[in-house]
Every structure is written in structure tokens, then in C-alpha cells.
């Protein structure tokens, strides 16, 4: 069974792409051509992991979407980390429409991912984290990442 799954829904030249699973040396993006699209919306919510081979293949693949307006949706932490670290992982001009932010409760040790959406919790240049994120016992939770590093793709 394949470790990853990529589904593309095409409406005219608008592509909706859902990527799930593990992106590593076994992924062959050549099977999923992005050529000809005018807009591409990638839902990345269920990407479970990515290694260096997966990153390289991803950059080649996404670079093939010449001329398309690219947007990333529901990005988990592993994707946000690559966007911040690897030039070209999010192509120039592409947008992140929403992404998850890990929260942690010192009291209970509970962890939770909170969705930040463009236009709500962040704009194209700044982030305003929502107040009052609480764990299941009602205790205040804190952002569990280094903010200056995690939000770098927004503020740079």
C-alpha cells in the first residue's frame, strides 16, 4: 500500500489537490501533473511527514505549476516548518490560506492544534493569536512553538 495519496479535482483550469500521507523518496509527483492550471489549492491537512527527499521532489513539482496562483490550505506544523526553512517550498507569490499552530498546557500537559486563518488570526504581514485557548480542564494554553521562527513566513 502506498504511503501517500494525491487526488486532483479539476474544474476548468482550477485544480484542487489533496495530499495525504508520507512524502519521501517513494513519492513520484510526475504522476500528478500541475501543468495548465490557472489556480491550484493544495489541502495539506493530512500530510503526516516529509523528509529531505520529499522536500526536493515537492519543490520540483510545485515549480512546474508555472503561471498558476498557488495556495496552501490547512497546513500542519511539518509543512509550516518547511515553508519557513526551505526557499521555494512555498513558491513566490503563493499564499498560505490557513495553518495549524501547536498549543500546550503546562498544567495538564495537553497538546492541541489551533487553526489560524488568513484574514482572521493573521494578515499578510502580522499575526494576532487568539486569546483564551484552553485545555479540556479549562486551563489556559500557550503557543508551543518559537513564535519568531514559526510565524516567519508571515512576517518576512
Partner 1 sequence: MDNFRNQVLIFEDDRTLSAALKAAFEREGFVAYTTTNPNDARELLALKPIGVLVIDCLLPEMSGVEFVESIRSKFPTEILEVILMSGIFVDPSFIKDSLRTTAGKYFLKKPFDLSQLLSLVEKPVSRPSDPGISTNPRMRLYQMFSQEKVSARDKRKALEALDEIHGFDLPFIYSLLVESQFSGHLNLVTTVGEVFGLSLSNGNITNVDIPDKETYIGKLLVDKGYLHPDDLLSVVKDKSQKKFGEKLTKSFMVSPHALDMALSFQMNIRLSKTIVDKKIAVNLVETKVELTKPYIEPEEFAEFLHDWIASKISVQWLRAHYVQWMIYSLEKTPSFRENHPALLSPLVQTLPNLFNALSSGASLSQILDSRKFIEEPFYKALHYLLTSGLLVFSSAKSDLTSQDRMNQLNKIYAQFNGLNKVEIFDLITQMVGDQHDVPELVIQKFSRFLGRAPSPNEKVLFSLYQQLTNLALHAFEFVKSGKTEKLKDEMAKVEVVQKMQTTQQFEEAKNHLQKSSFKVALDLLHQVQDVDPKFEKLRIYLSWARLGMMDSIHKEKIITEVEMEMIQIPPEEKFDAIYSFVQGLLAKARGDFSAAHKLFAKAMSLDPTMIVARREMTVLAGMANQKKGDMFNKDLKDVFGSIFRKKS
Question: What does the binding site for partner 1 look like in residue numbers (CB under 8 A)?
Answer: 22, 25, 48-53, 55-56, 59, 78, 81-82, 84-88, 145-146, 149
Burial classification of residue 9, based on how many CB atoms lie within 10 Å of its CB (0-12 exposed, 13-18 middle, 19 or more buried): exposed
As measured in angstroms, the least distance from the Cβ of 155 to partner 1 is 11
DSSP-derived secondary structure letter, 74: S
Least separation in angstroms between residue 79's CB and partner 1 is: 10
- Residues listed for the chain: 156
- Identify whether the C-beta of residue 71 lies closer than 8 Å to the C-beta of residue 96: yes
User: Of 118 and 145, which has the nearer Cβ to partner 1?
Assistant: 145
Contact 114, 100 (CB under 8 A): yes
Distance CA 108, CA 15 (A): 42
Closer CB to partner 1, residue 37 or residue 47? Answer: 47
The least CB distance from residue 24 to partner 1, in Å, is 8
Q: 9 φ, ψ to 5°?
A: -105, 120
- Whichever of 86 and 97 has its CB closer to partner 1, that residue is 86
Q: Which residues contact 27 (CB under 8 A, 6 or more apart)?
A: 3, 4, 54, 57
CB of 45 to partner 1, least distance (A): 15
Is the CB of 16 or the CB of 129 nearer to partner 1?
A: 129
Instruction: Please say which residue, 81 or 110, places its beta carbon nearer to partner 1.
Output: 81
Least Å distance between CB 147 and partner 1? Answer: 11
Amino acid at each position: 500500500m502506498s504511503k501517500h495519496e494525491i487526488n486532483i479535482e479539476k474544474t476548468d483550469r482550477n485544480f484542487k489537490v489533496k495530499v495525504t500521507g508520507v512524502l519521501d523518496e517513494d513519492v513520484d509527483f510526475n504522476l500528478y501533473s500541475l501543468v495548465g492550471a490557472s489556480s491550484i489549492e493544495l489541502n495539506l491537512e493530512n500530510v503526516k511527514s516529509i523528509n529531505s527527499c520529499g522536500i526536493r521532489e515537492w519543490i520540483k513539482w510545485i515549480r512546474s505549476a508555472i503561471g498558476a496562483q498557488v495556495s496552501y490550505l490547512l497546513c500542519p506544523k511539518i509543512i509550516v516548518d518547511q515553508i519557513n526553512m526551505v526557499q521555494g517550498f512555498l513558491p513566490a507569490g503563493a499564499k498560505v490560506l490557513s495553518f495549524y499552530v501547536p498549543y500546550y498546557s503546562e498544567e495538564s500537559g495537553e497538546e492541541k492544534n489551533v487553526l489560524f486563518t488568513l484574514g482572521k488570526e493573521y494578515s499578510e504581514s502580522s499575526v494576532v493569536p487568539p486569546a483564551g485557548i484552553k485545555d479540556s480542564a479549562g486551563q489556559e494554553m500557550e503557543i508551543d512553538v518559537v513564535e519568531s521562527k514559526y510565524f516567519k513566513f508571515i512576517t518576512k
